[in-house]
Structure 1
Amino acid sequence: MRYGGITAMVASPTTLSGLKEALDLIESREEREGCIRGLNEIRALSTGSMAVPDSVKDVWRKLRGGRPLVIMYGFTEAAGMMAMTDWRDLETREISSGNCGTLAPKMEAKVNECGEICFKGPLLMKRYVSAQGNVMSNVFDDSGFYKSGDLGSISVKGEISIHGRANQDVIRSLGWKVNALEVEDALREHPSISNIFVLGVADTEAGQRVAPLIVKKRDMDPKSQKDFRLVALRKYLAIEKHLPAFKLPSLLRVIPHGAAIPASDSGKPSKKKMEGVYFGSGSGSAESGEVEVWDFRTKEDFPERPWDWEGRPPA
């Protein structure tokens, strides 16, 4: 069987993770090596549409003999990518976490006082087509910059880094701000997890709870079921990943491999829709037993550390 002929490919991080799992399930050494040869014939393997975890970058760099993924950043309101790493510099370039490369030609970018990255230039739309009179409210700032809704930064070299969505990746729990992407990255390395989305779910006690939606691995060992309890995940994150107590999950939903992931009209995973489907009332409610809720008064058996005062409730 021949696996060549493709020189460029674009795939979301979710698709890349699925491909890696499929590779791991190939029993024939000859077939697996053939697939890897085909992957290495791809000159530019690009990804984007959502945050690209460092673990995904590392896995695919190793599979492709040290060549990193091409990271792209854009959105529906633009006629092209706002930023992209250089595919011609694949042999030596190290891409830092969140880095999406340099700004597209003739575009301008800035970070406003809220930490939101804003853009201006010929690739951007003029307006939304809608019968709603207020559809353009707060879309552009007073200087004509489009407000992307993404938290970001711009390096001295002009490289764009994205740190998450302002309205869904900053969780305010117990009076603290938690970056959902940081918790996702830590959980993504768990051996039994195929995919992970960390949400902020409204709660009367905490304001918002740090709530992972976990997709199990396809070939997960049934003995690993105990891994998917809040007490086990919190201990894993605290001890193995060194997360302080206020960032630990306090709500949990686990779904099987292949379960539907709610998406936006443009096909991107939608955390807002996930919250309604998997953490809302009905089949996903705590009363059904499918959502586990952490009692903040629970005494945990891992040792306290100097920084745990930041979020550990008083005894």
Structure 2
Amino acid sequence: MLFPTLTPNAPDIPDAITIGDDQLSREDLVGAATAVAERVAGARVLAVYARPTTDTVLAIVGCLIAGVAAVPVPPDSGAREMEHILGDSGAQAWLGAAPDDPTLPVIPVRRYARSWHRHPEPPGSATALILYTSGTTGLPKGVPISRSAIAAGLDALAGAWGWTADDALAHGLPLFHVHGLILGMLGPLRRAGRLIHTVTPSAANYAAAMGRGATMFFGVPTVWNRIAADQSAAQSLSSARLLVSGSAPLPVPVFEKIRDLTGHEIVERYGMTETMITVSTRVDGERRPGWVGLPLAGVETRLREGDSDLPHDGETVGDLHVRGPMMSTGYLDQPEKTAESWLDDGFFATGDVAVIGPDGMHRIVGRRATDLIKSGGFRIGAGEIETVLLAHPAVDEVAVIGIPDDDLGQRIVAYVVGGRVPDTELIDMVSAELSHHKRPREIRFVESLPRNAMGKVQKKLLD
């Protein structure tokens, strides 16, 4: 079963789900979500307006109980994106809340309705969720996620992180992506633990979650950077069991500052919508700044250049391929796009470039399209330059890209958020720390970096 403890006979937990100041006991969750399942049984696909509310939890869990595919829709979606998601997914109605002037019927979620009917467990191959990619290269693509993939992914993380029913997970992440929804909401349900959703991921809210018994915290790097800047809030997390970062690379200076303030070395992990989480540092293993860890149980990885395997020597940069039981099997109704990434031997071509050490530790260099820079005949990872620049006290944020250059092929350009210092000061800093050919040829100071909802920098918007 996907949720073995979500049955009428399971022990109750008064605060199993806390979202802001709203709470659901486990008994409330089972009764109300089963009532939702009664209402939607027989539907194929339903859209959920994924705001951070208990109604969203009941809608998603009700669909999972009934065996109906749920499509979590970002509430900040523009009209064009929302129309695409609804049409592409084949959603038949909104379940629960809906946007203004909905174009589909709306099925209400009745918070205080109760049902104790036992629904048969759908097959593991059944689609549980249809998630949409961030759409950095066009309209977002639908990714069907099966029930067995969710179970395999969450169980592998439980092994890596020592995640048990005794844990209370706190975070303020959106409930429409792998990080906030599958790991952050379905994870506590599968582990039979508690969820504390802070609605907004502020340093103050994370600190307050400690008073509610939180033991684990999830955040994106932007969140951890804000917590690192609030000494009191950071120190309040010292008694947590585990701090986890994902969805974007965690800058080494943030890792180090959180370690200094809390005594915790943040667990980093790597994944995608298409694969869920495949690589992570472990609760009982090394947590090396800038590295995302080892393959999870059941996962295989490799580095490739074309059809050739590359060595795992800690230096060679190559295309990262992954294979494991938590992966999706393709994009929704896009066989050509599927064939580009899901390879004949079962590996998924992530589009990321990485380095793998002799000990199996992985370091993600970045996206091949934007983070692998070919300058003067050298293959250069943008991430290592960004790490050096972030160590400068005047640099708050940075994004490094390669732009076309008639002489070099690509010229390294660094976009910097922070205090204005002479360009040469930053360029010389990189030259002193890394090889001379890795120095930026240009520094561009900007007020902010373009990011998506999960905090990932949209480098394609920089130019």
TM-score (norm: length of structure 1): 0.69
- Residue 296 of structure 2 corresponds to 104
* CA–CA distance in structure 1, aligned partners of residues 355 and 374 of structure 2: 21
Matched, 1:68 2:259: no
Distance 1:83 1:242, change over 3 A: closer
> Matched residue of 2:415: which SS?
strand
CA RMSD of aligned residues (A): 2.5
- Residue 83 of structure 1 corresponds to 279
* Code of the aligned partner of 2:218: V
CA deviation vs aligned residue, 1:211-238 (integer Å, no higher than 9, x gap): 111111xxx5xxxx3x1x3223223333
> Matched residue of 2:237: which SS?
helix
> Matched residue of 1:99: which SS?
coil
* Match of residue 51, structure 1, among 226, 246, 249: 249
**8 A contact 1:199–1:212 mirrored in 2:** yes
Larger radius of gyration: 2
> Matched residue of 2:340: which SS?
coil
> Matched residue of 1:138: which SS?
helix
* Match of residue 136, structure 1, among 295, 317, 338: 338
* Match of residue 39, structure 1, among 233, 237, 240: 237
* Code of the aligned partner of 2:282: D
* Code of the aligned partner of 2:244: S
* CA–CA distance in structure 2, aligned partners of residues 271 and 250 of structure 1: 17
* CA–CA distance in structure 1, aligned partners of residues 225 and 453 of structure 2: 22
- Residue 233 of structure 1 corresponds to 426
Residue 271 of structure 1: how far off its partner (Å):
1.2
> Matched residue of 1:167: which SS?
helix
Residue 161 of structure 1: how far off its partner (Å):
3.5
- Residue 221 of structure 2 corresponds to 13
**8 A contact 1:230–1:249 mirrored in 2:** no
* Match of residue 121, structure 1, among 324, 328, 339: 324
CA deviation vs aligned residue, 1:31-66 (integer Å, no higher than 9, x gap): x3xx3441212211100212223222211111112x
**8 A contact 2:365–2:384 mirrored in 1:** no
Moved over 6 A (4+): none
Report sequence identity in percent: 28
* CA–CA distance in structure 2, aligned partners of residues 235 and 159 of structure 1: 30
> Matched residue of 1:215: which SS?
strand
* CA–CA distance in structure 1, aligned partners of residues 355 and 407 of structure 2: 33
- Residue 166 of structure 1 corresponds to 368
* Code of the aligned partner of 2:250: V
**8 A contact 2:216–2:241 mirrored in 1:** yes
Unaligned runs of 5+ in 2: 1-203, 307-317
Distance 1:159 1:172, change over 3 A: closer
Distance 1:236 1:108, change over 3 A: closer
Matched, 1:270 2:458: yes
* Match of residue 433, structure 2, among 238, 242, 248: 242
- Residue 287 of structure 2 corresponds to 95
* CA–CA distance in structure 2, aligned partners of residues 140 and 191 of structure 1: 43
* Code of the aligned partner of 1:270: Q
CA deviation vs aligned residue, 1:89-139 (integer Å, no higher than 9, x gap): 3xxx54234432232222222222352221222211111114x56222421
* CA–CA distance in structure 1, aligned partners of residues 292 and 246 of structure 2: 9
Distance 1:192 1:265, change over 3 A: closer
